[in-house]
Amino acid sequence: MSNNKFKSGFVSIIGRPNVGKSTFLNRVIGQKIAIMSDKPQTTRNKIQGVYTEESAQIIFIDTPGIHKPKHKLGDFMMKVAQNTLKEVDLVLFMINAVEGLGRGDEFIIERLKDTNTPVFLVINKIDEIHPDELLSIITTYKDLYPFAEIVPISALQGNNVERLLDQIKQRLPEGPQYYPADQVTDHPERFIITELIREKVLHLTREEIPHSIAVVMDSMQRRDNGAVYVGATIIVERDSQKGIVIGKQGKMLKEVGQKARTDIEALLGSKVFLELWVKVQKDWRNRASHLRDFGFREDEY
């Protein structure tokens, strides 16, 4: 087959929570489209990152980490992740080299056995282990599943990421360019903005706030002066969490707003005025109506 044929296809990134999927996606796309946090269960929707070059276009789908669900939101996220496996040309199963094989990985591998899609094992965070440890990690996983390729990388430092992209391109079919060359995601700006706000809450509140927050866009308008005015509500499950997010004399919420505004201005290329509110919706992760209100719609998947 001639090398000058255009290749394109859809590639799903799966793995336990917090193995570095979003870091990898952001490294490849070169823009911040997936939020990053050192807490598990950050990604909730299918975030598509579009990587385009002269001879190929790879559309990456970053799924929620596959895990045993504990609530309705967990059920929803598992369905999204599993459905994605059937829709793509290639699956990247990412693992954390530092943690090694865990029950979560075994759970995912069992689910991979139900798919006919080729699977690459991507061993991330190799910068954090001794090179001698790599061989035993490869051997352990190789015995569990017939991976099409095994590629060790460091998403954070960029080690071997180019090689992984080359391997992916070799596996993709010939196809059209699905998206314009300058488009990096299929998500509307409003979605990315709410994710950027949520990221700041997670970073700044650290261990005090579990993943029981959602962010809802109330309004977004560009005015005659060229500035964009954004109003958004941060949803929490308990009054105590509301107090933490607002902080003493509103200090925490103000800092969330300042940091989020900087990222939103970079995204939109405009001056941004951001107004944030905090609202309690008790136990929202277990209520189907709240999940729908906050954008988690099963019928879209």
CATH code: domain of residue 194: 3.30.300.20
- Which helix (H) or strand (E) is 217 found in, with range? strand 214-222
The residue-averaged pLDDT of 276-290 equals 69
State mean pLDDT over 23-30: 84
What percent of the chain has pLDDT above 70? 74
Task: Give the span between the Cα atoms of 228 and 221, in whole angstroms.
Answer: 6
Same domain, 11 and 118: yes
Q: Is the pLDDT of residue 157 over 50?
A: yes
In-domain check, residue 182: no
In this structure, is residue 261 part of a structural domain?
yes
Examine the domain organization and report whether 194 and 262 are in the same domain.
Answer: yes
Write down the mean pLDDT value for the chain: 79
Same domain for 118 and 210: no
DSSP state of 79: H
Q: In this predicted structure, what is the pLDDT of residue 39?
A: 43
The answer to whether residues 139 and 195 belong to one domain is: no
Give tens-digit pLDDT for 95-130.
999 998 988 889 889 888 878 889 999 999 999 999
**17 plus 114 within the same structural domain:** yes
Same domain, 151 and 232: no
Task: Report if residue 179 sits inside a domain.
Answer: no
What integer pLDDT is reported at residue 168 of this predicted model? 96
pLDDT at 268: 76
Total of domains in the chain: 2
pLDDT at site 290: 46
Same domain, yes or no: 96 and 215: no
CA distance 94 to 18: 10
Q: Is 70 exceeded by the pLDDT of residue 153?
A: yes
Q: Per-residue pLDDT tens for 197-211?
A: 988 888 888 766 656
Looking at 171, 203, 224, which one is the last position of a domain?
A: 171
User: Phi then psi for 169, rounded to 5 degrees?
Assistant: -60, -40
Domain check: are 164 and 205 in the same one?
A: no
Same-domain pairing of 146 and 272: no
Residue 16 falls inside a structural domain: yes
Q: What is the pLDDT of residues 28-78, one digit of tens each?
A: 887 655 544 444 444 444 556 788 888 998 988 766 555 555 556 556 556
231 and 148 within one domain: no
51 found inside a domain = yes
Beta-sheet pairing, 7-15 with 90-96: parallel
Range of the domain at 201: 189-300
Does 268 lie in the same domain as 240? Answer: yes
**Residue 194 placed within a domain:** yes
Q: How many residues does the chain have?
A: 301
Say whether both 163 and 30 belong to one domain: yes
Residue 56: inside a domain: yes
